[in-house]
Amino acid sequence: MSDLAPLIVVSGPSGVGKSTVVTEALRLDPSIWLSVSATTRSPRPGEVNGEHYFFLSQEEFDELVATGGLLEWAEYAGNRYGTPREAVAAHRMAGQPVLLEIEVQGARQVRSSVADATLVFLAPPTAEILEERLRNRGTEEEAVVAARLEVATAELAAAGEFDVVLVNAEVGQCAQALLDFAIRGIG
């Protein structure tokens, strides 16, 4: 038995509602610490450096990769995203469950490097609903939406690699199922 607090990885295609489900899970269980990722993407309006992401230059990101500072990282729709390693370890050692909200390639890396991680895949009720959600976001240009749709289709195929697949039909229920499985081992 590991005496580290749980490491929970939440993944799934863009537009499935990962951040909404994660926000609700954190509200239901405030003991969970949400990892802040590093990214080379530019901030969207309202995003705060160090809170939503650490917004890095290409060079700064290269440096983190080279020094082994990232637990996992991946390129996604033209930008790089990664999980700072030390903060995850520190919170787990302090007894705080850690949650990563990341895309599928990163989840695979965690699967192979962290034996006791719990991998949760969020799936949309239907592929049509996913496309509708992606389009209705309204924060991205058409070309960006098209790129994300393509990635999302490939990501859906990865569901079988995860410990559990939860369908995000209703946010509260999905968040509760996530906690039941990943924290309490139910389901």
| Rounded least distance, CB 27 to ligand 5GP, Å | 19
The sign one gets for the Cα dihedral 152, 155, 160, 164 is negative
**Which of 55, 181 has the CB closer to ligand 5GP?**
55
Taking each helix axis from N to C terminus, what angle separates 127-136 and 142-156, rounded to the nearest 10 degrees? 150
Q: Is 118 in the site for ligand 5GP (CB under 6 A)?
A: no
Site string for ligand 5GP, 120-159 (x = CB under 6 A): ----------------------------------------
**How many other C-beta atoms are found inside a 10 Å radius of the C-beta of residue 29?**
17
| Rounded least distance, CB 48 to ligand 5GP, Å | 13
Cα–Cα distance for residue pair 119/133, rounded to 1 Å: 23
Q: Is 111 in the site for ligand 5GP (CB under 6 A)?
A: no
Nearest CA to 76 among 61, 91, 94, 95? 61
Q: Is 102 in the site for ligand 5GP (CB under 6 A)?
A: yes
Q: Is 91 in the site for ligand 5GP (CB under 6 A)?
A: no
Options 5, 22, 33, 72; binder of ligand 5GP; rule CB under 6 A: 72
Residues 6+ apart with CB under 8 A from 30: none
Options 82, 97, 108, 183; binder of ligand 5GP; rule CB under 6 A: 82
**Which of 1, 57 has the CB closer to ligand 5GP?**
57
Site string for ligand 5GP, 4-23 (x = CB under 6 A): ----------x---x-----
What letter does residue 161 receive in the DSSP assignment? G
3-state secondary structure of 56: coil
Q: Is 41 in the site for ligand 5GP (CB under 6 A)?
A: yes
- Determine contact, residues 36/81, Cβ cutoff 8 Å: no
**Which of 18, 92 has the CB closer to ligand 5GP?**
18
DSSP-based helix, strand, coil % in the chain, nearest 5? 40, 20, 35
| Rounded least distance, CB 53 to ligand 5GP, Å | 7
